[in-house]
Amino acid sequence: MKFALVNGEKVEATKGAKGLCRHCGSELISRCGEERVNHWAHKGSRNCDPWWENETEWHRSWKNNFPKEWQEVTHTDEKSGEKHIADVKTDGGWVLEFQHSYIEPKEHHSRNSFYPKLVWVVDGTRRQRDKPKFYRLLDEYAIRSEDTRFKNIIGRDDCKILKEWHDINALVFFDFQDLDDKKQPILWFLFPRLVSNDEAYLWPFSRDKFIELHNNNKFDALVENVISPFLEKLINKKKIMDEMEESRHRERLSRLDWIKVGRRGRL
């Protein structure tokens, strides 16, 4: 953890310090060395939140973009009493989870269900092969989208990071720690897979803009004005295509019946 309670204050770890866990109230000891970022830890191997993962410099650099009081906030389900530590929880109610390590699909869905407004930011550099495969997919399989801002990818079987995150029905941004054509930090937003096909839609999105929208509590406007309308358009498009396919299927059956009647007439 980045923070502990020391004399009632939210404090970062320093060598030799002791504090209390803000989540469970138990004693924490500071871990300060050269191999890992300074952090607080429970004694022994205990961790009071099973969803918590060891942090990297990547985690810390993301957290540091947001106010201290938004970081490591305990979120409690009012009905069940279940509680977990959000990496960042904004004043707008959005929980930002910065995910470096692999997690099982079951945990994806558990977190999506637990947090009403959840955004994943995924470290795309954890596996060396993910970034080159992702960009190769963009180069070789992208086709023109209904909206020129977005990239439409046909097929995703060769890109593991897409396969892992496309089916979880949540808002996901990939961070390949890369720059756009204007040399600005860029994220890739992966639209949730709400229709049953192999298409993936991606949106190159400014990292600075992402941070700005959350810090100014304007991310809801992005969802309402851009993301949701495009998803609705995709769903309607799939519905029309399904209706057309059903119509063609009925027409084929009708022709088959006509052929059968014609054959019986000639016998």
The string of DSSP codes covering the chain is --EEEETTEEEE--TT-EEE-TTT--EEEEE--SSS--EEEESTT--S-TT-----HHHHHHHTTS-GGGEEEEEE-TTT--EEEEEEE-TTS-EEEEE-S---HHHHHHHHHH-SSEEEEEETTSSTTHHHHHHHHHHHHEE--SSTTSEEEE--TT-HHHHHHHTS-SEEEEEEEEE-TTS-EEEEEE----SSSSEEEEEEEEHHHHHHHHHTT-HHHHIIIIIHHHHHHHHHHHHHHHHHHHHHHHHHHHHHHHHHHHHHHH-
% of the chain residues with pLDDT over 90: 42
> Per mean pLDDT, which range of 7-11, 15-19, 205-209, 251-255 is the poorest?
251-255
Residue 97, phi then psi, degrees to nearest 5: -110, 120
Mean pLDDT of 14-42: 85
Average pLDDT of the residues of the chain: 85
Dihedral over Cα of 122, 126, 129, 132: its sign? positive
Ranking 77-81, 99-103, 124-128, 243-247 by mean pLDDT, the lowest is 243-247
The pLDDT of residue 239 is 66
Q: How far is 111 from 224, CA to CA, in rounded Å? A: 22
Indicate the pLDDT class of residue 252, thresholds 50, 70 and 90.
Answer: low
Flag whether pLDDT at 144 surpasses 90: no
Res. 31 pLDDT band, cuts 50 70 90: confident
Residue with the larger pLDDT of the pair 187 and 44: 187
* pLDDT score for 266: 53
Q: What pLDDT was estimated at residue 192?
A: 86
Tokens of 117: 């407004």
CB atoms within 10 A of CB 33: 9
Give me 78's structure tokens.
């009012």
pLDDT in tens, 151-178: 888 765 678 898 889 888 789 999 999 8
Listed ranges 17-26, 52-61, 145-154, 211-220; the one with the highest mean pLDDT = 211-220
Virtual CA dihedral for 44, 63, 89, 24, nearest 10 degrees? 20
Instruction: Give the chain's radius of gyration (CA, Å).
Output: 24
End-to-end CA distance of the chain, in Å? 84
**In this predicted structure, what is the pLDDT of residue 228?**
92
Q: pLDDT higher for 31 or 44?
A: 31
In this prediction the pTM is 0.84
